[in-house]
Amino acid sequence: MQQDNAEQVILDPKLIAKHYLRTWFFLDLISSIPLDYIFLIFNQFQDFSESFQILHAGRALRILRLAKLLSLVRLLRLSRLVRYVSQWEEVYLFN
């Protein structure tokens, strides 16, 4: 992806996949692991304090994923605002 032009839309699937693999893939992969079950397994074999630290790591990954989703929601709101402004521009251009 090119950083110099922020308004450029990339439609090439290979470039999109490459960018995703470099940015969000690892976080999505790690956060898709069922850490609650891993926590239960560790709880049976280790003391509770070590298992509790693993549970906190899982929650931190979920928070990062939530932050990603919130940024997507913000992007959707921005697109709605752009659409709203363009509708008003059309109204004023035709009058």
| Residue 37, domain member (yes or no) | yes
Tell me, yes or no, whether 67 lies in a domain.
Answer: yes
| Locus of tokens 């990954």 | 61
Is the model's pTM score more than 0.75?
no
Q: What is the tens place of the pLDDT at every residue in 68-85?
A: 777 777 777 777 777 777
List Cα–Cα distances, 26 to 19, 31, 35, in angstroms: 12, 8, 15
What is the C-alpha to C-alpha distance for residues 88 and 94, in angstroms, rounded to an integer?
A: 10
| Torsion sign over Cα 85, 87, 90, 94 | negative
Mark 14-35 as b/e (b = at least 16 C-beta within 10 Å): eeeeeeeeeeeeeeeeebeeeb
Average pLDDT over residues 22-51: 71
| CA atoms of 41 and 54, how far apart (whole Å) | 11
Q: Is the pLDDT reported for residue 2 higher than 60?
A: no
Structural domain total, the chain: 1
Query: Could you tell me if residue 13 is inside a domain?
Result: no
Q: Which domain holds residue 43?
A: 33-94
Whether residue 22 is contained in a domain is answered as: no
